[in-house]
Amino acid sequence: MSVWLGGTKNGSSWTWTDGNPFSFISQPSSGNCLAISPSQTTSNWYSRNCSTNLPYLREIPAEVETFSSCPPKPTINPTNPCKQGYSFFPKWNYCYKYVNEGLDF
């Protein structure tokens, strides 16, 4: 199964949906939008036609609380500082959610 990652190509430049550029050397493919086809052995990024309807991944910053004085009683689980339904990846300090709804660009 393929999933949209949120990258699009304009000319020879790739950007994320928030406008930040990134480098990606696509294999010969048919589109200007970035997808991933995850598997247990390998997960390859590739470009697809943007009108293809696929599920997608959402990324949001982790809800890490900071305090200027003594912290109040904790309200966020320190091992998973994400909103309900999201999974925390501490390496990136972001929360991710698989959304099983079709989306096209």
20/22 Cα distance (integer angstroms): 7
Compute φ and ψ for 95, nearest 5 degrees. -110, 140
Greater model confidence, 21 or 12: 21
101/56 Cα distance (integer angstroms): 7
Q: What is the pLDDT of residues 46-103, one digit of tens each?
A: 888 888 888 887 777 776 554 455 555 555 555 677 888 888 877 767 788 877 776 6
Contact at 8 Å (CB) between 7 and 22? yes
Q: What is the pTM of this model?
A: 0.58
Q: Is residue 43 over pLDDT 70?
A: no
